[in-house]
A and B are shown apart, each in its own frame.
Chain A
């Protein structure tokens, strides 16, 4: 399932969020939400976002989990545009 972009207001400021579904039965898969204001920036230079938010888990199979991650940069006072992506990596023992 492609991640879903959204907005959450925290302490009166709005932040981008990215909600995705992850497998819980494959520990070799690592999921990271990355943020950047420049699409031309190499993915390796996008900043990892680590602020997770509570999200509804209804309707998921037991081996799946829904995760919502909040951007660290507020829209108010932030750059003119900003983007999030989900990066999935697999460790060698996967």
Chain B
């Protein structure tokens, strides 16, 4: 695997230097840090706009119902399977599924088994996955984990530990609240994780399960519950993804409502109009237009990043009428989605699977 990684990165450098002959200048993609600040005595909806270092980039050679095989020799069985060290995801870098990320459930050599939410990769809604010598490119990256962001042990812990796992519906302790985008319904119960002294990251009801490696998927925010009055700052150190990102929004059954927590996957703010959240292409975007302001269907909920308190209601609600974003009656196309924050889509009514495409960032030369 290391050899393949070196080969793929060496190819990048070769291409870069060959480009130099003509252009005389080339630069690598940005990498850096991003501070995530959780307010004191509050819930803060945050997200990770940087990614971890790529583990592999390879072409697809074969496609199965929930598997893809990559042209990657020497990959150890289980190398990308979820484990105590974390989880990996596969991101399509080119082709019809460009930008789509799927969790890797396991691998036998270069054959990856992916979490597809029941979708058949051989007849995918986004199109055909090219395989072979000109197959689609797929990148494998590790997910951020709870331990990466919030600390792996008492020495690196960013939040306050608790002596025992809290009980009851409200957790009066520092905690990480992970949304459940897979379940139907609104105002759903999150997976709540606290750091228990002497035990590690744990969730109520599962005191023996170590959740240090719990993945924080790209494009999905997390809530940080901070009890003390002073804020806490987490520093992510990682890379700026150069690829578009595509988030799969599950289908809704007739009469069903669903909250979906979402975030920008790149460290670049975007206006609502440029976000791709709404598209006139029926299968794209996440938001369905409402008939008018009195009959609002889907909404994007924004939380006040300055307001203190717990279980706060959303501060702003945006919807689409026609092809334009609105807040109540006011036009809102220019409203900005902040990178590093989190938002909630409240989707109402039957629909097929949708895909929210976030374009790759474009840099100044």
Contact = CB atoms under 8 A, between A and B. Distances in A.
B27 A1 contact: no
Determine the main DSSP class of B at the interface with A.
mixed
Interface of A: 1-7, 14, 16, 18, 20, 29, 34, 39-43, 75, 80-90, 92, 94
Given A5-B238, A87-B25, A18 B17 contact: no
Interface of B: 6, 9-10, 12-13, 16-17, 20-21, 24-35, 53-54, 235, 237-240, 267-268, 361, 363-365
B349 to A, nearest CB: 38
A90 to B, nearest CB: 5
B235 A75 contact: yes
6 contacts: A1-B13, A3-B31, A5-B238, A34-B27, A39-B361, A90-B17
Given A4-B53, A6-B237, A90-B21, A81 B16 contact: no
Given A2-B54, A16-B33, A20-B28, 5 more contacts: A39-B363, A75-B35, A81-B34, A85-B31, A87-B27
A81 B25 contact: no
A81 B53 CA distance: 18
Given A83-B31, A85-B28, A87-B27, A42 B364 contact: yes
Which 4 residue pairs spanning A and B have beta carbons closest together?
A83-B32, A5-B31, A83-B30, A42-B364
B6 A81 contact: no
Given A4-B53, A43-B365, A80-B34, A85 B235 contact: no
A23 B24 CA distance: 16
Contact of B364 (A14, A40, A94): A40
Nearest to B22: A90
Contacts of A43: 27, 363-365
A88 B31 CA distance: 16
A42 B362 CA distance: 11
Nearest to B36: A80
Contacts of B31: 3, 5, 18, 83-85
Contact of A5 (B17, B25, B237): B237
Contacts of B25: 87-90
B240 A39 contact: yes
Contacts of B54: 2
A11 B186 CA distance: 49
B32 A5 contact: yes
A1 B10 contact: yes
B24 A89 contact: yes
A89 B20 contact: yes
B32 to A, nearest CB: 3
Nearest to A91: B24
Nearest to B238: A5
A7 B31 CA distance: 12
Contacts of B365: 42-43
Nearest to A80: B35
Given A1-B6, A75-B235, A86 B28 contact: yes
Contacts of B24: 89-90, 92
A86 to B, nearest CB: 4
Contact of A86 (B20, B27, B364): B27
Contacts of A3: 28, 31
A88 B13 CA distance: 10
A64 B24 CA distance: 20
A88 B33 contact: no
A16 B29 contact: no
Contacts of A89: 20, 24-25
